[in-house]
Structure 1
Amino acid sequence: MLHHVLLALSTVLGSVPAAIVAATLVLRALLLPLSLRGYRAERIRAGLAPQLAEIRARHQHEPVVLAEKTTAVLRQAGSGPFAGLLPALAQAPFVWLLYREFTNGTMHGHTLLGADLTQRLIGHPALLAGWLIVAALAGIALWNVRQLPAGSPGFVRVLSFATVAFAPFVPLAAGIYLVTTGVWTAAERYICRPRTLVS
């Protein structure tokens, strides 16, 4: 079914890469309410940081009690420990379907800058489209790192570059998806994070 949706979009938009971008934007727009809940949860956690730090200090050797007390405080404030993960979890089935679509050969014959959408940078090191995708993902990662609050853990900064390392191993079609969703996420964070209200 996804194949037919992408082909129908490509007929309207003129290319399969444009159809992948459009499908990704529609998905991210549908997930926006979950993203807003995630930003709200982030603001709540920031407001509760002193209280959560006190609970961590008091129960650092009691992981079960620590988890229970942390969850209770977050729930009382109208949030939960996993609220920020909802957009990623909701997006996962679509990502899986897209990846299957991109690797089963149905994208063969469709191109981006003359390169077949099924090609991977790891197998074709001279692939200009592949290098442009990697460069775009690196730019997005740098932007995201600069938006992180001061004192963010180092592993969070490193995780921002995960898609850059992953991109050479996936088909170009998947790279288009990664760039589109990355740009959406960066813009969404820039626009929504400071303006999402806790109430």
Structure 2
Amino acid sequence: MVHQILLVLAGLLGSVPLAIVVATLLLRAGLLPLSLRAYRAERVRAKLAPQLAQIRERHGHEPVVLAEKTTALMREAGSGPFAGLLPMLAQAPFIWLLYREFTNGDMRGHALFGFDLTQRLIGNPGLLAGWLIVAALVGIAVWNVRQLPAGSPVYVRVLSFATVAFAAFVPVAAGMSIPWNRGGLRYAA
């Protein structure tokens, strides 16, 4: 099904790489309500950070009480501890299907800057398209980290760069969709 959608889009747009970007943007537009909810949850977490730190300090040795108090505080503020995971979980099947699309060989022969979209940067370090995607991901990750509220956990900042490493191991085509799906990983905290 993904193959047919990409081919139809490619026929309309005249380019498989552009079809990948447009399909991914359509997915992001469909996930916009979930993304907005995740942004609100992130703001609530940032606002509650001092109170959450006090709860961790008081009840860090009692995991059940810590979880109950944290959940209660988040609920009072109109959020939940896992509110930001929804966009990431919703887009995961699309990313998986897109990855499968470019690893099963059906898309072999479609190119970006003269390089086959099914190639991987890890197997072909001279792949210009792969390095351009990695550079774009680094820029997006830096921008995302700067947008995080003060006091965000270190692992959230590091997680923003996880897709940079991931892009080297996936086909260029799957890597092309990552910049347009970046938002989901940022909400995982």
In 2, Cα distance between equivalents of 1:143 and 1:178? 15
After superposition, the C-alpha distances for 1:95-135 in whole angstroms (9 at most, x for unaligned) are 11111111111110111011111011111111111111111
Asked whether the 8 Å contact 2:108–2:116 carries over to 1, the reply is: yes
**Which residue does the alignment assign to 1:87?**
87
CA contact (8 A) 2:46 2:151 kept: no
Paired residues of 2:46 and 2:150 also in contact (CA < 8 A): no
Q: What is the distance in 2 between the residues matched to 1:13 and 1:75?
A: 45
- State the TM-score, normalized to the length of structure 1: 0.86
- Say what the alpha-carbon RMSD is for the aligned residues: 1.8
Matches of 1:146 and 1:45, distance apart in 2: 17
1:78 is matched with 78
CA distance in 2, matches of 1:100, 1:35: 25
Equivalent positions of 1:104-143 (< 5 A) are 104-143=104-143
| Displacement of 1:94 | 1.0
Q: Residues 49, 91 of structure 1: CA spacing in aligned structure 2 closer, same or farther, 3 A cutoff?
A: same
The answer to whether the aligner puts 1:152 opposite 2:186 as a matched pair is: no
Give, in angstroms, the shift of residue 142 of structure 1.
1.7
Q: What CA distance in whole angstroms lies between the structure 2 residues aligned with 1:125 and 1:79?
A: 44
Q: Taking structure 1 as reference, are residues 3 and 149 closer, same or farther at Cα in structure 2, changes over 3 Å only?
A: same
Equivalent position of 2:60 in the other structure: 60
Distance 1:151 1:80 in 2: 18
Unpaired stretches in structure 1, ≥5 consecutive residues: 190-199
Aligned length: 185
CA 1:154–1:42: 2 relative to 1, 3 Å: closer
2:180 counterpart SS class:
helix
Q: Percent identity?
A: 76
1:65-119: CA deviation from partner (whole Å, max 9, x where unpaired) = 1101111221232211100111001111111111111111111011101111101
When residues 34 and 102 of structure 1 are mapped into structure 2, their CA distance, relative to the original with a 3 A threshold, is same
Structure 2 equivalent of residue 69 of structure 1: 69
Runs of 4+ in structure 1 off by over 4 angstroms are none
